[in-house]
Copies of this chain bind each other. A is one copy, B any other.
Amino acid sequence: MTYGYNGQILRVDLSRGAISVEAVDELFCRKYLGGAGFVSYFLLKELQQGIDPLGPENKLIFALGPVTGVPLPGSGRNCVGAKSPLTGGYAKSEVGGFWGAELKHAGYDAIIVEGKAENPVYLWIRDEEASIRDASHLWGKNTKETGQIIRDELGDSLIRVAGIGPAGENLVRFACIMNGLKDAAGRGGTGAVMGSKNLKAIAVRGHKRLKVADPERLKELRQWILAHRELWASFAELGTGAAMEAWVETGNIPIRNFLDGEFPEISKISPPIVRDTIRIKMEGCYACPVRCKKVVKVDEPYSVDPAYGGPEYETLTAIGSNCGVSDLQAIAKGNELCGAYSLDTISTGVVISFAMECFENGLLTTKDTGGIELRFGSAEAMLKLIELITKREGIGGILAEGTARAAQKIGKGAEKFAMHGKGLEIPMHDPRVKAALGLGYAVNPHGADHCANLHDTMYSQSGPFFDRVKLLGILETLPADELGPRKVSMFRDVQLFRIVQDSLVLCQFLPYDVDQAADILAAVTGWKTSLVEIRRVAERTLTMARAFNIREGLTAADDKLPNRFFQPKRNGVLSTKFYDPEQLEKAKSYYYTLMGWDAKTGIPTPEKLQELGIE
C-alpha cells in the first residue's frame, strides 16, 4: 500500500456482531483521499434511499485521511459521517484530538459501523485486533466516566476513546461524538446515530509505526510552522474567538438568536477575560504546537471540571451572547455539560435561544417549560435546558428534536424564530456581514456549516489570510457583503479547498498555504500530486454529497437561509443592513453552474457525474 494509508478499513456489523476488514487500493485512495471523501463515497454507495437516520440501516463512518496521525501540526483529526438525523441528508463533521491518530496507528483508514447492537456495546480495537464488547455498565455514563471505565477494564491508560454521553444514547438529534473529552465531531447529529446503534464508544490503541514517503519534507513543514508563530500566535494565546469584541462592532456575532447587534457585556465572555479569569492552561491535539484549546477551571458558583477543556468561540457565543447570557462561569459549565453529555454546543445554543425567543413571545409559557423563566439572558435557564434536552424531559423532549422540528411541534409561527439551514442550526457568524458565508450556509450539503465555507472578512482586505488564498488565483480583495460572480467563484474555490482539508484530514487552523496541502500530501504518500488534482477530488466529494442529498429528496429549495437574515437587526451596526434574498438566489444559481450542477435545480448533471466517475 501507498505511504500514509493502511490500505484497509474496518467494517463492523453490530446487528450480526461481525467484524471484517476490507482492502482499499491506491487508486481508490487517490480518487477519494480520505475523510470527507471516504464519507461521501460510502454514504452514496452503500445507503439505501429513504432510510431512517436513527434506524439500523444507517451507517456511521469514521474516516481518517492520509495526513491523520503523521508527525505534522494539524494531523490530529478525523471525519465522521452518516445520514443526518437533523437534516435527513448528508452529515459530516471533523474532529480533533488524538483518537484519529491512534486509529491510524492501529492499522486502519476508516471504520464503517452498520446495523444495531441488541444491547449496548463498545468497540475495542487494539492494532489489528477488534472486538465488540458489552457496554451495559457504561450506558447512562457521561463521557469522562465512560473513558475511565474502559481504560480501567482494558488495563491501558493510553487507550483513546471516541464515544457518546447520555444525549447520544437518548437520540438527541444534535448529539455529537466526543474524541476524548475536549473534541467534538459536533455537527449533524452523528452522536445520535451512534446511540441508535447502541454503540457507546470506540476504544483504540495502536502501536504501528506509520511510514511516510518523505519524512524530511514533513520535518521541514513542521519547522516551517514553528518558524511562523506569528501566523498562529493568536490561536495559541487566546484560542478561537480572539477578536470577539471587535466582531460585535462588525455585526458578526449572534446576539439573542440573531436578533440584536448590541451586547455591551461582550467583554465579560470573550477570550481575553477567559484567559485572565478561569483559564488554567491551553492544550492541543496530536502533534500540534498551536495548542488552541482553552482549559478552564471553575469552582463557584458552578464546579467546572478542567478535563472537559473550555469553551471555544462557537460555544462562548452559542450559549453565551446568542442566548443573551454574559455569565462566563455558566458558559463554562454549559460547555462542560455538553462535553459530558455529548451535545453539539452550536445546535444546543441555537435551540435554546430559539426556545427563549418563543418564550419571550408567548409561544412557550412556564406551563410548557415546567416553570422555567426561559428568558434571554438567563444562565440558569440555559443550563437547565441542557439537562432537560439531554434527558428529553419536558420541553427538553421537544428541543432534543432540533430547532426545525421543535418549531413545527410548537407551531404558532415559531418557524420564524428557527435559525437553521436544512435543519442544522446556524453557527456563530452572521451572513449579513459575510455574504458568501450565507451562500455556504445555504448550499453546503451538510447544512449550515461555517467550516467548509468562506469567511468574507478574511478576504476583504490584504493580509495573511488573503495571501494564503492568492494561490487560487484570487488576486483582488472583495467587499465582505458583495456576492457577485467573482465572490461566488471565490467561495467555491475556498469551499473546495476546505473539502480538501477535510479529506486529508488537515486542520484549518494551521496556516499552511493552499499549495502546501498538496505538498503535504506528496510528502506523506509519495505521489506526484498537485493542488489541481486534489481540488478535483474535492469537486467529486462535494458532488457525491450533493447527489446523496438529491436522492434523499432535498432540492434547491432547501438551499436557503432563515428569513431573519433578510431583515436588519433590531439594533447595532446591522440595524439598517440585511441580506438580499434575490442576490442569494442568483449566487446559488451561479454556484450550481460552477459546480456543474443544473443552474435551477442544483442537481448534478449526468455529464458531470460521468466526468467525475460517480455512478
Contacts and interface: CB of A to CB of B under 8 A. Distances in A.
Contact of A472 (B485, B530, B607): B530
**Which of A473, A493, A534 has the most chain B CB atoms inside 10 A of its CB?**
A473
A514 interface: yes
B596 A471 contact: no
B532 A485 contact: no
Contacts of A488: 607, 611
Contacts of A515: 528, 530
Contacts of A529: 470-471
A533 B471 contact: yes
A488 B610 CA distance: 11
A532 B593 contact: no
A588 to B, nearest CB: 12
B473 A532 contact: yes
A229 interface: no
A268 interface: no
A401 B605 CA distance: 44
B610 A535 contact: no
A611 B486 contact: yes
Interface centre among A467, A471, A537, A608 (most CB of B within 10 A): A471
Interface in A596-615: 596, 605, 607-608, 610-611, 613
Given A31-B475, A473-B536, A596-B594, A514 B486 contact: no
A513 interface: yes
Contacts of A475: 27, 30-31
B486 A532 contact: no
A410 interface: no
A473 B537 contact: yes
B607 A533 contact: no
A533 B473 contact: yes
A590 interface: yes
Contact of A513 (B470, B472, B489, B528): B528
A119 B530 CA distance: 53
Contact of A532 (B535, B590, B610, B613): B535
Interface string A521-532: 000000011111
A607 B532 contact: no
A140 interface: no
Residue of A493, A513, A515 most packed against chain B (CB within 10 A): A515
A514 B530 contact: yes
A463 to B, nearest CB: 14
A483 to B, nearest CB: 12
Nearest to A490: B611
Most chain B C-beta atoms within 10 Å of own C-beta, residue among A485, A488, A513 = A485
A473 B593 contact: no
A289 interface: no
B471 A532 contact: yes
Contact of A610 (B31, B467, B486): B486
A593 B597 CA distance: 10
Contacts of A473: 532-537
Contacts of A30: 475
Nearest to A489: B611
A594 B596 CA distance: 7
A537 B473 CA distance: 8
Given A31-B475, A473-B532, 10 more contacts: A30-B475, A470-B533, A476-B613, A485-B610, A489-B611, A530-B531, A532-B535, A590-B607, A593-B596, A593-B605
30 contacts: A27-B475, A30-B475, A467-B528, A470-B528, A471-B529, A471-B533, A472-B532, A472-B533, A472-B536, A473-B536, A484-B610, A485-B607, A485-B608, A486-B611, A486-B613, A488-B607, A488-B611, A489-B611, A493-B532, A513-B528, A514-B530, A514-B532, A530-B531, A531-B531, A531-B532, A532-B532, A532-B535, A590-B607, A593-B605, A593-B607
7 closest pairs, A vs B, by CB?
A: A473-B536, A485-B611, A473-B533, A471-B530, A485-B607, A485-B610, A515-B530
